[in-house]
Chains A and B, each alone.
Chain A
Amino acid sequence: MQLVINGEARGFELEPGASVAALIAAMGLRPEVVAVEVNGTLVPRSTHDEHALAEGDRVECVTLVGGG
């Protein structure tokens, strides 16, 4: 499935309909340190397992970094 992750087109070995949680795992990220928007809408962590991704979805995936 092709997705746009943080503005960059990327291919994943995931079937359309795969969950946000599956994407986080496929990206090698720790779910507890990321937050996700799909097509501009925040996906609460409690629904990462249910939220199904579609071909071409725009995904923002953020974490925390040092800052003042």
Chain B
Amino acid sequence: MNDLPELPPSTAQNPCPDTPLVVGNHTFGSRLILGTGKYASFAQMRDALALSGTDCVTVAVRRVDMKEGGESILDYIDRDKYTILPNTAFCFDAETALRTARLARELLGTDLVKLEVLGDKLTLLPDPVDTLESCEVLANDGFTVMVYTSDDPRQAVRLENAGAAAIMPAGSPIGSGQGVLNPNAIRIIQELVSVPVIVDAGVGTASDVTLAMELGVDGVLLNSGVALASEPLRMAVAMRDALTAGRNAYLAGRIPRKLYANASSPEAGVVGQAP
């Protein structure tokens, strides 16, 4: 071994400070929102939520099943740890969505709602007219409306003007696992609205989350990508790490894309001759 001088100590501070995700009057430590559907059991759901690092989870409102009894999903969600975001999933008209939102508010005592008013069962794409109408009614009724929408930038602006507290464009159709199909539209939405933008739906794997966060969105909401993975708990960890990676890459500021190479090592002083 050569005698080299001792290395100077690193003085790096934590290089990754971040701000919380703020939606209306609600503050979230994690930028990942996780759904609670499709898990093999409530226990598996509870463990996946914990491993994902999320502190906001979605639930659905449904008629009670009188043949079932006993356990409630609420028995597996620690309300001191998680904010519960009820949705209006599978509502196909404004009236049903409004009823569902109000029942959820009564049940949970929360002003939060993930508004989802769909057009048809095949695509599960949002109906723009009923979504806009419901958003305005709920916002005027005191709800903090996090609204599921398509990646149409003009509809996003309409929804913000109607009182939405967060715009949640679909990356791709619900449960399709196709990731973010139109990154440019998502970027334009962010430029046009001032409320948080959260990519909701279509996330299939970790890189989808990273890509979304690298675009600069404020958060990602996903469910099937974790719940239906072969190993949901491992995927919950992957999604957590992917979100952190994408968020830090966005904040760090990526290098521009170039057509040609740009050497990392200096050209000057090379031994021999370059072409």
Contact = CB atoms under 8 A, between A and B. Distances in A.
A3 B240 CA distance: 47
B33 to A, nearest CB: 9
Interface in B196-227: 201, 221-224
A6 B102 CA distance: 17
Interface residues of B, number: 38
A60 B74 contact: no
Given A6-B64, A27-B66, A68-B221, A63 B35 contact: no
A9 interface: no
B228 to A, nearest CB: 11
B3 to A, nearest CB: 61
A3 to B, nearest CB: 12
B189 to A, nearest CB: 20
Nearest to B77: A64
Contacts of A42: 99, 102-103, 106
Interface stretch (B37-45, B131-139, B230-238): B37-45
Nearest to A44: B106
B174 interface: yes
Contacts of A30: 72
Interface in A49-68: 60-68
Interface residues of A, number: 23
Contacts of A27: 64, 66
B208 to A, nearest CB: 15
A27, A62, A63, A66 interface centre (most CB from chain B within 10 Å): A66
A62 B61 contact: yes
Interface in B22-44: 35-39, 42
B103 A68 contact: no
B73 interface: yes
Nearest to A32: B74
Contacts of B64: 6, 27, 29, 34, 61-63
B63 A6 contact: yes
A64 B63 contact: no
Contacts of A60: 63, 103
18 contacts: A33-B107, A35-B103, A35-B106, A44-B106, A45-B106, A64-B74, A64-B107, A65-B61, A66-B37, A66-B42, A66-B45, A67-B37, A68-B36, A68-B37, A68-B58, A68-B60, A68-B222, A68-B224
Interface of B: 35-39, 42, 45, 58-64, 66, 69, 72-74, 84, 86-87, 89, 99-100, 102-104, 106-108, 174-175, 201, 221-224
Given A64-B59, A68-B58, 12 more contacts: A34-B107, A37-B103, A62-B100, A64-B61, A64-B74, A64-B104, A64-B107, A66-B35, A67-B58, A68-B37, A68-B87, A68-B174
